Amino acid sequence: MGASFLITLREGLEVSLVLAILVSYLVKSGRTSEVGAVWRGSGAAVLLCLLSGIAFNIFVGEFSGKSEQFIEGTIAIVAASVLTWMVFWMGRNARNLGAELRGQVDAATTTRALMVIAFVAVLREGFETVLFLLSAETSSTSGASVVIGGLIGLGVAAVLGRLVYVGGNKLNLGLFFRVTGVLLLLFAAGLFGKFFHEYRELLGFEHGWLVEPAWDLKSGVWADGTFYEFMKGFFGWDAAAEHIRVIAFFTYLFPVGWLFVRTSGKR
């Protein structure tokens, strides 16, 4: 639940920021009658993402064995890559996002053009969210908790988006994106480790030090229960994680985390 909450909170707030910029600029420009085009475009994008996510989840659920390992491993590495790109992209482009969107609105002379701007902006974030939620579900034992956490995250993001629209300067969005960026990179590190776990099983790599457990916990909060499920879904924790998975986790986290902290400090 924790991973899906963070994902939808972050992605939902990004969508809220985009819509807040579009709507507020249309209102200030005296084009209030065209606000409906933004909602129609964003609504169409949400519907398409929702249907795509359901269809893909059903499609993936039909596989087992080697096929399932290949799909889950591939989803994990793709999600980790996109997640990493997204975190750094937002850090570099957040300051210019408003000016870019306002320029697109100025260039949009028809309601159809406005619908396309909103549709594309929301669709990009929506597809990213679907991909990340699929990754969260494959790394967690409970699909229901992923859905619940995602819905709560969207609800909180909607409230924050409204606050941004009313008076965004009162919210420290820079701090929000830095903190969630660190947490999402931890989630991505878990996905990176999961990729190696799934692919070594896919390739039949079952012997040697790399596949031996780095630890083997049989009981306690780190081996079973709600806390264990949270850590498993969020960070890719496992009570008997093999060495290759642990090595992959830190091989990703140390250089990428250092680069993020370094670039965030400069900004």
Per-run averaged pLDDT (10 residues), the chain, 267 residues: 78 83 84 88 91 80 77 90 87 72 80 88 86 69 69 84 69 75 89 92 89 90 81 82 94 94 72
Q: What is the pLDDT of residue 223?
A: 86
Of 31, 80, 267, 262, which Cα lies nearest the Cα of 186?
80
Q: What is the pLDDT of residue 143?
A: 61
Q: What is the pLDDT of residue 192?
A: 94
Q: What is the pLDDT of residue 168?
A: 56
Q: What is the pLDDT of residue 1?
A: 62
CA 265 to chain centroid, in Å, comes to 22
Determine the structural domain holding residue 75 and report its residue range: 2-266
Q: What is the pLDDT of residue 47?
A: 93
Q: What is the pLDDT of residue 150?
A: 80
Q: What is the pLDDT of residue 207?
A: 87
The whole-angstrom separation of Cα 77 and Cα 22 is 33
Q: What is the pLDDT of residue 58?
A: 78
Q: What is the pLDDT of residue 265?
A: 60
3-class SS letters over 56-104: HHHHHHCCCCHHHHHHHHHHHHHHHHHHHHHHHHHHHHHHHHHHHHHHH
Of 15, 3, 2, which Cα lies nearest the Cα of 157?
15
Number of domains in the chain: 1
- The pTM assigned to this predicted structure is 0.80
Angle at 251 between CA 132 and CA 204, to 5 degrees: 75
Give the chain's largest Cα–Cα span.
69
Residue pair 221/228 in contact (Cβ under 8 Å)? The answer is yes
